[in-house]
Structure 1
């Protein structure tokens, strides 16, 4: 079987590396360039935003399954387009991808089906939002409505910061058409948990839990990123949270059924737990990044089988190892804002018992170069978080590239 994966970041490299272990798989094509591609994994380097180009590649290379990694092609309707040509695709159609593509739609869906979430309001204009900026007190949360690569959420400590956020979104137009409206919501204080689930029609089959680190600096300071570290299972998750999560999943299933939003793919649920009460922060309709990099190494069941079960609207039989995975992401200094790239990465050949997923790298003249904000995911599997943490940071000591930066507190839990 030949497989095409849309995307070529750490998430896609993790998916490809997991699928490559399956004997049924011949070639796995990544739509963009990934410096870690080897063996069965091949860089196709096509324009995946041009769906006709994608379909032609599928036909020319006998691709039997396409898996969509990033959110933008889903929101733009790549699944609808390819399914019209009778191609097998794993991912939601545009009508279901709106759960991620519009924060307003997601919040309205939660409200309609009694899913616990923060109080919120939605505004289409700068003037409307500015007039209601103090409605939930401070801190308050302001979110650009559309897809902003994990960078469209502002936690504002006071009115000045809130005004700055609105100015960036509406007046500076930094998110282009994805920032045409905003959701302002009540700030919740607690810890976050990530739950990825297979969706098979309108039935939901959850993975094990994960925790990701969104802030760029230690101590959870600085701007939000796409994620700079992750752990699975989430060490703060308890049975009381699991019971509430199960109730939430049942309500989402009801919503998917009633709204005719059945699909095959992944639903990522971003939870926040405040005083042991579980709230839903957001939905994503694809594999989370960097959560995928700590969940797939722990997957005991066969990923290809699980994907095919979902596509066929069958029961998805997931199974995980009883171990702990941790990932620290090496980034280019300056990320998530401006940064320089193109620096040679050394030390990767010296690593033992470590998984390396390439987030933003390229191979040139047999050298691996930094080629993005997030560069490498350094992952360790062990029987304890402490052991995984030590292995990850010991490995990082051996890796070097110019302007390399990373958080040193991933996996370090507060007492």
Structure 2
């Protein structure tokens, strides 16, 4: 089989790496890919924000399956266009992807289907948002309604912070785009869990759970990012809790989408808060998480391609997944200044030395390859990932790997997994 992966980040590198391991795969093509992905795939230039350009690549390559990594092509309706042409594609339609692309749609959907989530208000003007603040206790959460690359969530501890956040979102100063709708939510306390599930529109098959570290600073301080590191262990959720989440959150979501004539096929990412009231949905994503995918896929022992194909074919209930026991960890190396402005083009050294460490995989997120030299080409540059029998060992390996790597201005958090280690 020939498989085409759409995207250019660490998530797509991990997907291409896992797909390439399948005995049935003869070639993986990535569009547009990045410098490091050339190790496991052939790269083809494409504008991933242009549906027609991606379709041009699909037609030219004629893959047996196309796997869509990032959210933007889903939001633009790439899956709809491919289905119209009877092309095999893994991912949700534009309507099904609204679980991610519209926070207000997702909140109202959860309310319709009795899926546990925070109390909320949807506001379409700054004035409405300001008056709605009085309905909530502080701290309060304010979210941009649309896609914001993981940076559209504000946790406001004072009324002044909330007022400034609302003004910044509606004026465009905060994200660079003017929001026409924001969601205000009650602040939930507890541990966050990333719970990812494959879906064929009727059934769900859970992947191993993970916990992300969104804040740029150690001790979970500073602004939100796309994710600075993640770990996955068997102990994040016990089997009974996983079963509860499948029964009360995942299956009602899949069933609800089906009853609303938008069957969900693809990966359903449930961002959960484990509160004193039980698990509650913070948000949905409708694609593999980044960097959760890196930590999850290094634990997958069965064939990822089998699962992806089963979703597309509607036979997920017949597919079994095997997972490595123990733990995995992923530490992200970022450019200086991220998630704000940063420079690119810095030479990267030490990649070969890091990759030689047994159990370590170096996934490229924002890199380019020029005359045999890897250069930085993004905010999040690398995702150094390791799997082992214990979380302590997985973290030791990941940090040993990242310690071999250098580029000017390189930054990474040194406390990934700190919440889990405290419990031991």
Task: Give secondary structure in 1 for the equivalent of 2:169.
Answer: helix
Matches within 5 A, 1:3-402: 3-175=3-175, 179-233=179-233, 235-239=235-239, 241-246=241-246, 247-275=248-276, 277-314=278-315, 315=317, 316-351=319-354, 352-353=357-358, 354-402=360-408
1:38 Cα offset (Å) = 3.0
Which deviates the most, 252-261 or 329-338?
A: 252-261
Q: CA deviation at 1:58?
A: 1.8
Bigger mean CA offset, 169-178 vs 135-144: 169-178
How many residues get paired?
A: 415
What SS does the aligned partner of 1:378 have?
strand
More moved, 254-263 vs 339-348: 254-263
Partner of 2:414: 408
Which has the higher mean CA deviation after the structures are superposed, 237-246 or 284-293? Answer: 237-246
Change (3 A) 1:271 1:157: same
SS of 2:340's equivalent in the other structure is coil
Contact 1:380 1:389 in 2 (8 A): yes
- Conserved? CA contact 1:66–1:89, under 8 Å: yes
Asked if the contact 1:341–1:370 (Cα under 8 Å) also holds between the matched residues in 2, the reply is yes
Is this contact kept in 1: 2:139–2:155, CA < 8 A? Answer: yes
SS in structure 1 of the partner of residue 28 of structure 2:
strand
Gaps (5+ residues) in structure 1? none
SS where residue 179 of structure 1 aligns?
coil
> Which ranges of 4 or more aligned residues in structure 1 deviate by more than 4 Å?
none
Aligned equivalents of 2:307 and 2:367: distance in 1? 29
| CA apart distance, 1:22 | 1.7
Q: Tell me the TM-score normalized by structure 2.
A: 0.94
Contact 1:8 1:359 in 2 (8 A): yes
Question: Which ranges in structure 2 are unaligned for 5 or more consecutive residues?
Answer: none
The alpha-carbon deviation at position 168 of structure 1 amounts to 1.4
Structure 1-normalised TM-score?
Answer: 0.96
1:393 Cα deviation (Å)? 1.3
Counterpart CA distance in 2 for 1:140 and 1:241 is 27
Q: CA shift at 1:178, angstroms? A: 7.2
- Cα deviation for residue 174 of structure 1 reads 4.2
CA separation in 2, counterparts of 1:138 and 1:27?
53
CA contact (8 A) 1:271 1:278 kept: yes
CA distance in 1, matches of 2:153, 2:339: 13
| Cα offsets for 1:251-307 (capped at 9, x unmatched) | 223312211221321000000011261111111110011110011111122111111
Q: Return the offset for 1:239.
A: 4.6
